[in-house]
Structure 1
Amino acid sequence: MTAHKPAPWTFAEPWGARGWITDLNGPVHWVDFGGEGDAPPIVFVHGLGGSHLNWSLVAKALAKGRRAVALDLRGFGLTPGAPRSTSIRANVGLLNSFVNEVVGGPVVLVGNSMGGVISVLQAHNNPETVAGLVLLDPALPPTTVRPDLRVAAMFSAYLMPGLGELSMRLMQSRLSSRQQVLRMHNLVLADPRKADPQLTEASVAMVDQRREIPGKEESFLGATRSLLRLLSRGDRYRRIMAGISAPVLLISGAEDRLVPIAAARRAAAANPTWDSLFLPGVGHTPQLESPATVIDAVSTWLARTTTIAGK
């Protein structure tokens, strides 16, 4: 039995979450949003630059008839990265250990952005552990649609050895914690004015806390470069998505700057057994920008998908 110890941080406590630290080949921080019942548990998997806080506005409502938990991936949130790898492969391994040793499968994975990719690969590598997949604006192979120029420039810098590290350190040193959070809002939200004020304050406190974590820039860039390498092999990744046997719900914001809606529509068309929902006026993180819509869509899908609905 894997031992857990209470975490010293309480950033998600206002939303009913309790934090824990578990040794899974290194310390891993995760939070339990409660819930009980016989339905497969939900495991929330955040994206690049995210953490367990990304699920605060929807987790408690979805923890009905089932347990709901969220982990901080290696190198993100309150889970340290260095000296351990933060690659996609390493974090898929971490998710698999978390599901098997902490939660117990099969589970419903709810993944956003990079977390969507990690969830897809978990379903591909270990299908017996995944009862269902909810993909919220998952990272997808590029299309011929012209990318957002700001996003393209940012990721081009991240890919360049030396320049990526320098740009990250300059950003960390020149921007306050609040400015970093607002910068992220401007990137992932179609309308930054929709950011929840209480969650914004918790996110600022999280950035303050993360300043004490060594090697966080390298951890972020390691994950970013690994993700982009995987997505560059678009045909292979599309075959992996097509081979998923678990039921899938795809939700994408029409105003996503990071993953163009054309890529999401292409994925939906290539996988006609998936359920798909496209949200006008919403960006890259629907669970933060339109939580009520996400709660309704996911709850409805869970209730009518007989293999994961519970009793």
Structure 2
Amino acid sequence: MAAFPGDSPQFEAEPPESRWADLGGPVHYVDYGGPDDGPLLLLVHGLGGSLLNWAAIAPTLAETCRVVAIDLVGFGRTQPLGRSPHIDTNRDLLARFVDEVIGHPVILVGNSMGGLLSLLLADLRPDLVSGLVLVDPAVPVGPTARPDPLVTLMFGAYAVPALARVLMSRRRSLFSAESQAMAVLRLCCVDTRRVPGHVLRQHLELAREREDYPDVDAELIVAGRSLVLVLARRRWLDALMGRISKPVLLLHGAKDRLVPIAAARRVARANPTWRFEVAEDVGHVPQLEVPEWTIDRILDWLVDEGTIAVLGARP
């Protein structure tokens, strides 16, 4: 792997130990620690992801903030065990996690579907959320954006579960878990060589572990279909975002293939109080591809427009 700033020693912290909360079933999360009086950031991954999606930036953020990352139902190490991976289920899971595990408002940091979940929770339970950091959030594409053809095909398949099951089963029979994980990274990144080596290794280890989990394809289809249905309610989502009164930082990769930059620009224009930053030549996961850029933007926002959010997210 090519040398990259993310491979420097400051990013090589050992991953924290797994923790579990009983919220209608076991929920996997990790606590990166941080100052006792620091604002608490709850990191929320996207569709098909896991809390490892934050492993490149969480240790540095924990130098000044309390940092916790969660695996949503059906993803990472949180198996459904009778629960649905539907987006509404995971929104309610986040609410319970903040209420019962954390116990005070948080700053939600959400990527992709995790960004949409953060918006949904901030609207439903504003008492639990003091601010939002949206990293390439899943938002309606809009008429002027041009979705990537492969992404259009992929999300179109979610609308026809039988077709999606056939495609996923065929892919699983042809490719190893590691190959599938790398294919996802290539879709999400402009250059996967930028992903820190130790973080990439953790992703591949988890992919191998999840091979033994039952029904992972069915869970992804349910979650993906529910996401598509929510995003189809464009006017409703636009109104919801307009109601958010908490401080918001919107970060987006200029070369995102899953959520085109035009969609983020439209949302930013409609919400001028939000701070909007673009990562040039970066894809859907800036926190993996350009971790230092992502950290700098978050920390700068926390001491500027996000100061009110910081006060609300302290214990």
TM-score (norm 1): 0.93
Matches within 5 A, 1:132-211: 132-144=131-143, 145-211=145-211
Partner of 2:303: 303
1:165 positional shift: 1.1
1:155 positional shift: 1.5
Q: Measure, in 2, the Cα distance between the counterparts of 1:55 and 1:161.
A: 30
Q: Measure, in 1, the Cα distance between the counterparts of 2:160 and 2:60.
A: 41
Whether the aligned pair in 2 keeps the contact of 1:15 and 1:56 (CA below 8 Å) is no
What is the Cα-based RMSD across aligned positions, in Å?
1.6
Identity value in percent: 44
Deviation >6 Å, runs of 4+: none
Partner of 2:7: none
Whether the aligned pair in 2 keeps the contact of 1:82 and 1:216 (CA below 8 Å) is no
1:272 positional shift: 0.5
Q: Measure, in 1, the Cα distance between the counterparts of 2:57 and 2:156.
A: 33
1:173 positional shift: 2.4
2:102 maps to amino acid: V
TM-score (norm 2): 0.92
1:94 positional shift: 0.4
SS in 2 for 1:133: strand
Q: Measure, in 2, the Cα distance between the counterparts of 1:225 and 1:257.
A: 19
1:306 positional shift: 2.2
Q: Measure, in 2, the Cα distance between the counterparts of 1:289 and 1:66.
A: 22
Task: Provide Cα deviations, 1:114-156, integer angstroms capped at 9, x if missing partner.
Answer: 0001000110000011011000000011222221111111111
Partner of 2:101: 102
Q: Measure, in 2, the Cα distance between the counterparts of 1:18 and 1:66.
A: 18
Partner of 1:279: 279
1:281 positional shift: 0.2
Partner of 2:80: 81
Partner of 1:64: 63
Task: Provide Cα deviations, 1:212-252, integer angstroms capped at 9, x if missing partner.
Answer: 21111111111100010001010001111110111000000
1:91 maps to amino acid: N
Q: Measure, in 2, the Cα distance between the counterparts of 1:13 and 1:177.
A: 24
Whether the aligned pair in 2 keeps the contact of 1:142 and 1:232 (CA below 8 Å) is no
Q: Measure, in 2, the Cα distance between the counterparts of 1:187 and 1:262.
A: 18
Partner of 1:39: 38
1:36 positional shift: 2.1
Whether the aligned pair in 2 keeps the contact of 1:50 and 1:77 (CA below 8 Å) is yes
- The count of residues paired between Structure 1 and Structure 2 equals 300
1:174 positional shift: 1.7
Q: Measure, in 1, the Cα distance between the counterparts of 2:38 and 2:195.
A: 31
Partner of 1:293: 293
Whether the aligned pair in 2 keeps the contact of 1:42 and 1:108 (CA below 8 Å) is yes
Partner of 2:126: 127
Task: Provide Cα deviations, 1:245-281, integer angstroms capped at 9, x if missing partner.
Answer: 1100000000000000000000000000100101110
Partner of 1:252: 252
1:16 positional shift: 4.0
Once structures 1 and 2 are overlaid, which stretch shifts more, 258-267 or 157-166? 157-166
**Where do 5+ consecutive residues of structure 2 fail to align?**
1-10
Partner of 2:229: 229
SS in 2 for 1:283: coil
**Where do 5+ consecutive residues of structure 1 fail to align?**
1-11
1:156 maps to amino acid: G
Q: Measure, in 2, the Cα distance between the counterparts of 1:254 and 1:66.
A: 28
Q: Measure, in 2, the Cα distance between the counterparts of 1:266 and 1:287.
A: 22
SS in 1 for 2:76: coil
Q: Measure, in 2, the Cα distance between the counterparts of 1:56 and 1:85.
A: 26
Q: Measure, in 2, the Cα distance between the counterparts of 1:13 and 1:299.
A: 20
Q: Measure, in 1, the Cα distance between the counterparts of 2:15 and 2:35.
A: 14
Once structures 1 and 2 are overlaid, which stretch shifts more, 35-44 or 100-109? 35-44
Task: Provide Cα deviations, 1:6-65, integer angstroms capped at 9, x if missing partner.
Answer: xxxxxx995442211111001100011111232330000000110010000101111134
Matches within 5 A, 1:17-32: 17-32=16-31
